[in-house]
Amino acid sequence: MHATRKSVLTAAALLAVATTGCEPGSGTAATKPHPAKPGCPATLAKAKQAVAKAEDVDTPWKGPTTGPKARDGKSIVFIPHTITNPGPAGVAQGVQESAKLLGWKARTINGQGTPSGIRSAFKEAIDLKPDGIVIGGFDPATVADEAEKARAAGIQLIGWHAAPAPGPSKKPELFTNITSKVEDVAKISADWIIARSEGHAGVVLFTDATVPFAKRKSDLIKKELATCSDVKLLSYQNIPIPDVNRRAIGSVRSLLSRYGDKWTYSAAINDLYFQHTAPALRAAGKDGAGAPYTIGAGDGDPSAFERINSKRYQAATVPEPLSEQGWQIVDEFNRAFAGSPASGYVAPVHITTAANSGGALSWDSEGYRQAYRKIWGR
């Protein structure tokens, strides 16, 4: 049996109180009033309305409730772009958990964050002759030949953050691609900055332009930020995800030297960037609960929740329901194996802050496990 979301939140909240105590900081409201009126009053009003809706924690299951019963004896392989990225690592855990419930074999092979590593992992996966392979967070074009061999062998391919949009894909050819809508995630991330800053912000945006999905997300964040005239994009930092751990500290030092207190907000295409920018901000004497206030536009891994809950160098995240999406991957494979169409389900966007997390370390829609178990007959 699995604990309900409410019981998990309660337990996590008690643990957070016991281990971290009360620390100063703010939720989503700005700590200081801005002396000037915003240059975008209409945009600001819409942003505040959208953010309030996204911060609502009352999210009953809105995913599929019908589908084929579980197929027996299947095997799948999950290939994450890099297992050091907590996002795909969290999804992989959800895949393992749900596959075990069905009696399937599930294996994870690390792509190691490089084109050669990903190709090697894909070749290894094909040699295992699985029924399905997950393309986890990388461009399928980097394994075009290997993917074609997999399809020729009758192996089903499902993507996680592998194509620009959720759902079935012809180019790249995927049974389905599981992700939130990048447009929604980008917009709500920028809206959070606009709303929280009352329309006055100096923003640094971190991205990985080597991943088309990530670049598109950051470009959309830029576009939405530009709808408010008093929100200024100070810098667009292109740091590939595998390089974040060695480049982030130098980048932050340079940004602080150049912009100083004008740098009041940060957004990144996922939370991993803030894991590595935090030490540099701490070394510079920045308050973990103060500016620059940061929002991760994706993933929502446990370390991000820990930073948010303790108000240490991250204020918010737009979390993917990582475990839930792992379960969805298994359900989509089951539909493919049964000859049924993809479910078409896309998780709605949510914003997590210290004010609404309840001390939890993840975000998933309530009741997804029960819903999928009922569909599968397990």
Q: Give the pLDDT confidence of 149-179 residue by residue, as tens digits.
A: 999 999 999 999 998 889 999 988 999 999 9
In whole numbers, what is the pLDDT of the chain averaged over residues?
89
pLDDT band at 38 (very low <50, low <70, confident <90, very high): low
Instruction: State CA 181 to chain mean position distance.
Output: 11
- Cα separation, 191 vs 317, in Å, equals 12
Amino acid letter for position 84 = T
Percent of the chain with pLDDT over 90: 77
What's phi and psi for 31, nearest 5 deg?
-80, -25
Across the strands, what pairs with 233? Answer: 203
DSSP string, 119-171: HHHHHHHHHT--SEEEEESS-GGGGHHHHHHHHHTT-EEEEES-SSSSEEETT
> Quick check: 188 pLDDT over 50?
yes
Cβ-contact 209, 339 below 8 angstroms: no
> Tell me: the pLDDT tens digits for 324-358?
999 999 999 999 999 999 999 999 999 999 999 99
Please report which confidence band the pLDDT of residue 25 belongs to, taking 50, 70 and 90 as the band edges. very low
230 secondary structure, DSSP code? T
Run of H or E including 220: helix 212-225
Mean pLDDT of 217-242: 96
> ∠ CA 218-108-343 to the nearest 5 degrees?
65
CA distance 280 to 287: 12
**Per the structure block, which two tokens stand in for 72?**
């027996």
Dump pLDDT digits (tens) for 237-263: 999 988 999 999 999 999 999 999 999
pLDDT in tens, 263-292: 999 999 999 999 999 999 999 999 999 999
Largest distance between two CA atoms of the chain: 65
The C-alpha atoms of residue 371 and residue 61 are separated, in whole angstroms, by 8
For residues 289 and 306, what is the distance between their CA atoms, to the nearest angstrom? 13
Nearest to 353 by CA among 192, 140, 147, 138: 192
| pLDDT over 70 at 29, yes or no | no
Q: Which residue has the higher pLDDT, 297 or 19?
A: 297
Q: What is the DSSP string of 1-51?
A: ----HHHHHHHHHHHHHHHH------SSS-SS--SS--S-HHHHHHHHHHH
The mean pLDDT value for 302-322 works out to 95
Backbone CA torsion sign across 284, 290, 295, 300? positive
Helices then strands, each counted (H, E), the chain = 12, 12
Q: Which residues contact 25 (CB under 8 A, 6 or more apart)?
A: 288, 289, 311, 354
Question: What is the reported pTM?
Answer: 0.78
Read off the pLDDT band of 314 (50, 70, 90): very high
User: How many other C-beta atoms are found inside a 10 Å radius of the C-beta of residue 184?
Assistant: 17
